[in-house]
Structure 1
Amino acid sequence: MPQIITIFVTVFLAELGDKTQLATVLFAADRQTTPALVFLAAAGALVASTALAVLLGTAAERYLTMIPLKLIAGIGFVLVGGWTIVDHFRSAAGA
């Protein structure tokens, strides 16, 4: 049971304030869309993307046992962060 709590809290905190949540807030603020529809669509999208992540993680663990997956994930986060910073400065320079 402690594992499920750890996973829940980690994912919940990681999702707070991210772009997906902000997009959901914007959809919910649209008066033409019902809150229930926004919730169902956003929840379905999160479930589908999580299912894909679990499938990919399971396959990666099976086929990439020599490579530490946490290292790969960390490098991926650093690359995405670097790309986001570069994109920010490119957008600021063009504005």
Structure 2
Amino acid sequence: MYFTLLFSTFVTVFLAELGDKTQLATVAISGTSNRPLAVFLGSSSALVLASLIGAVAGGSLSAVIPADWLQLVASTGFLVIGGRLLMPMLQAGLGSSQTED
């Protein structure tokens, strides 16, 4: 087993999921239920299934598209999403810093 890959994947996904909407939804569902074990089993099963689909899709795509291209597309997608999320904040900050004459 590739423990370095296992560890780096665990750390990356764990940090990405902290404060994620999935975690917030799990907290909300758990807060309205008196069965936290059922909520845990349901949410963890959903995460495992979603991760399995991602891993299978990534493995299938890498057989057709070179891994470097997949990483480039994924990183570009994240940059675009990040830019779109930052744009309203930057526009609001620029608009409030302008002074009237």
TM-score grouping bracket, smaller chain normalisation: 0.7 to 0.9
Answer yes or no: is the 8 Å Cα contact 1:24–1:42 preserved in 2. Answer: yes
The percent identity for this pair of structures is 38
User: Which of structures 1 and 2 has the bigger CA Rg?
Assistant: 2
Moved over 2 A (4+): 78-88
Aligned length: 87
* Structure 1 partner of 2:4: 2
CA–CA separation in structure 1 for the residues paired with 2:20 and 2:14 = 11
Shift of 1:47: 0.5
* Structure 1 partner of 2:23: 21
TM-score, normalising length: structure 1: 0.77
Matched, 1:47 2:48: yes
Moved more, 6-15 or 78-87: 78-87
Moved more, 72-81 or 44-53: 72-81
CA RMSD of aligned residues (A): 2.2
Q: Determine helix, strand or coil for the equivalent of 1:3.
A: helix
Letter in 1 for 2:46: A
CA–CA separation in structure 1 for the residues paired with 2:27 and 2:17 = 13
